[in-house]
A and B are shown apart, each in its own frame.
Chain A
């Protein structure tokens, strides 16, 4: 990235088991987003190794990375990143399009996942017609639609007020309850407390890695 290289992560060693809900915390500049991007194959690591589901992820060209992302990973972003000229359903169906799933099946699946996030009635609406929380739920449905091994969420509640944040976290917890592995980058302690494990980063190293007792978001809703 750019001509100046900067060592953001300085030796990180950790693994995530299937079904975990991990919060990666840290102040800005601590490397938490970089870690998530490397895990998401959006960024490259210069040293070390990364195994995903027993597959070593290295020397990826863009095409291969795209295929891995499509197969293994679901993304949820702080700014939702929905495609603004596509309806909620089309947005959810997009990863399936890149999996070469047929149109009919795509729509069925998209509707199913929209239903899971409680937005089936909003399927034909454009993102501009949805509230922030709804947009994030559509984004989560989109991330889930490809049935990924890992769901990566970069500050999923960063652009939402606390009530909506808890709704979104409630949804994430429910998805986790179904056995999905989820990693969340956040700097909000209350959001982190809703996970099962917190990894604290500071200046590119792991400061603390602890399992916690999960706070259910539904208690706040």
Chain B
């Protein structure tokens, strides 16, 4: 160990490295390239990972949507093709019977309960537009996080109880109906034939979302009074607890709905569903696969680079046979010669590695800056410090092992033969 911390040792190493600058540079480039690829790949994979994470952030990961379709099997006296429906009572049924469910938000889309399924004509002063209208409960925000602009709010319990005529509008609605510097909060807009007071503006979340920025939300109870939809629900947004199997919960809920709505127990088409948890899981599997692959590719590239170092050192040992012979004639022990070569290898590997890490980090931050403003699931591409340290450790170990080959060769030549070689 003393050998490593001896400044004389390092002078010897610097001497022999700086003697052959071209050789050193080429050697270093091999490993530099390897670690660069490793960092760039691992960082990009992490960036995609983060990007997916961010995309799914606005929606509870373990959430699903269930909506009614039409039956595809005759059952209990009903013919095939019966239109199924969902009602508010289904919410309490599911909550009572399936304990894995954390939140249920019934939603109704304007038009689903009546003949008019067009977007609703909305007017503010001289401006107007057609926008989707939803009747919602406050619990909806527990499942699909809504980012509400400063000063605004989402629908609350009192809105529901009193069936208030309040509305949360989308970002685009605000842009189209309001002046640029006009505060929409507290303003009144006419939706259809009824005036609503704006209480919030929701920002469109990037990534997975069921809503668009031209949607407007009003209290469920207000919607049902206005459009006379009774207990009718368009679809249910359901969030399960974090630690449960969402796929199973999805199956259970659909089975329960089939039985309460008197559909055939095997009629898969009676109710439709979409499971975000599953979709998220698949995306995450993909991201994990990507990370894993980048690790493998990166490490393989590092390995190739290190083998390159070993190769070049082997040639250099051959070139330096005479020098090494002289050193041994002058009293260098075999272990001193071996350490010299191995340390040279490790030193070159480390320098190359550190340069590669710096270069890789630079490229990653460049890509990050470039993708910041475009809609691409790529956020904060970082390589975890353990990965970097791991790569450095691998490089030192490999550098040592690979350096041992030329070092062993260097000491296996007898000094007398080395000196004789012309």
Report A's interface with B, CB cutoff 8 A. Answer: 1, 37, 40, 42-43, 62-63, 66-67, 69-71, 75, 77, 79, 81-86, 90, 94-95, 97-99, 103, 142, 146
A66-B328, A81-B326, A97-B8 are known; give 17 further A-B pairs, CB within 8 A: A37-B416, A40-B329, A42-B414, A42-B416, A62-B328, A66-B331, A66-B333, A67-B331, A67-B333, A69-B331, A83-B326, A86-B15, A95-B331, A99-B331, A103-B7, A103-B11, A146-B330
B322 and A81: CB pair below 8 A? yes
Q: Is B415 an interface residue (CB 8 A)?
A: yes
For B7, B15, B332, B335, the residue with the greatest tally of chain A CB atoms inside 10 Å of its CB is B332
> In the bound complex, what is the Cα–Cα distance between A67 and B330 (angstroms)?
9
Q: Are B7 and A95 in contact (CB under 8 A)?
A: no
Q: Mark B223-263, 1 if CB is under 8 A from A, else 0.
A: 00000000000000000000000000000000000000000
* Partner of A42 from B18, B19, B333, B415 at Cβ < 8 Å: B415
A-B contact pairs, 29 of them (CB 8 A): A40-B329, A43-B414, A43-B416, A62-B328, A62-B333, A62-B334, A63-B334, A66-B333, A66-B334, A66-B336, A67-B331, A69-B330, A70-B330, A71-B331, A79-B422, A81-B326, A81-B419, A82-B326, A83-B323, A84-B323, A85-B15, A85-B19, A86-B15, A97-B8, A98-B327, A99-B331, A103-B7, A103-B11, A146-B331
**How far is it, in angstroms, between the C-alpha of A37 and the C-alpha of B417 when the chains are bound?**
11
Considering only CB atoms, which chain B residue lies closest to A152 in the complex?
B329
Contacts of A103 in B (CB 8 A): 7-8, 11
Shortest distance in angstroms between A217's beta carbon and chain B's nearest beta carbon?
26
The 9 closest A-B pairs by CB, nearest first: A70-B331, A85-B19, A98-B331, A42-B416, A66-B333, A95-B330, A63-B333, A62-B334, A81-B326
- Docked Cα-Cα span, A9 to B328, in Å, equals 24
Q: In the assembled complex, which residues on chain A have CB atoms less than 8 Å from the CB atom of B422?
A: 79
How far in angstroms is the closest Cβ of chain A from B62? Answer: 66
CB within 8 Å of A: which of B1-33? 7-8, 11-12, 15-16, 18-19
Residues of chain B touching chain A, judged by Cβ–Cβ distance below 8 Å, are 7-8, 11-12, 15-16, 18-19, 322-323, 325-336, 411, 414-417, 419, 422
Contact yes or no, A1 B331, CB < 8 A: no
Contacts of B328 in A (CB 8 A): 62, 66, 69
**B contact patch SS:** helix
- Nearest-neighbor residue (CB-CB) of A78 within chain B: B419
Cβ contacts under 8 Å, A66 to chain B: 328, 331-334, 336
Complex Cα–Cα for A79 and B329 (A): 14
Across the interface, which residues of B come within 8 angstroms of A37, CB to CB?
Answer: 416
User: How far, in Å, is B309 (CB) from chain A's closest CB?
Assistant: 20
| B334: nearest chain-A partner, CB-CB | A62
What are the residues of chain A within 8 A of B417 when measuring CB–CB?
A: 1
Closest Cβ neighbor of A79 among chain B residues: B422
Residues of B within 8 A of A99 (CB): 331
Contact residue among B16, B326, B335 (Cβ-Cβ distance under 8 Å from A85): B16
Residue of B nearest to A86 (CB): B15
The listed residue with most A CB atoms (<10 A of its CB), out of B330, B415, B416, B422, is: B330
Given A66-B334, A97-B12, are A77 and B416 also a contact pair (CB < 8 Å)?
no
A62 to B417, CA, bound (A): 14
Which chain B positions have C-beta within 8 A of A71? 331
Most chain B CB neighbours (cut-off 10 Å) among A82, A94, A142: A94
A64 to B419, CA, bound (A): 19
CB pair B330–A75 under 8 Å, yes or no, is yes
Which B residues are CB-close (under 8 A) to A42?
Answer: 329, 414-416, 419
Whether the pair B335, A63 counts as a contact (CB closer than 8 A) is: yes
In the complex, what distance in Å separates the CA atom of A1 from the CA atom of B336? 23
Complex CA gap A90/B8 in Å reads 12
Known: A83-B326, A98-B332. A77 touches B419 (CB 8 A): yes
Residues of A within 8 A of B331 (CB): 66-67, 69-71, 95, 98-99, 146
Smallest CB-CB separation from B19: which chain A residue? Answer: A85
Task: Name the A residues within 8 Å of B7 (CB-CB).
Answer: 103
Contacts of A81 in B (CB 8 A): 322, 325-326, 329, 419
Closest Cβ of chain A to B411, distance in Å, is: 7
**Which residues of chain A are within 8 angstroms of B335 by Cβ–Cβ distance?**
63
Residue numbers in A under 8 Å from B415 (CB-CB): 42
In the assembled complex, the Cα of A25 lies from the Cα of B282 at a distance in Å of 86
Which residues of chain A are near B322, meaning CB under 8 Å?
A: 81
How long is the Cα–Cα vector from A34 to B334 in the complex, in angstroms?
22
Instruction: List the B side residues contacting A82 at CB < 8 Å.
Output: 326
**A42-B416, A98-B336 as given contacts; A69 in contact with B329, CB under 8 Å:** yes
How far is it, in angstroms, between the C-alpha of A36 and the C-alpha of B329 when the chains are bound?
13
Assess whether A1 is in contact with B332, with CB atoms less than 8 Å apart: no
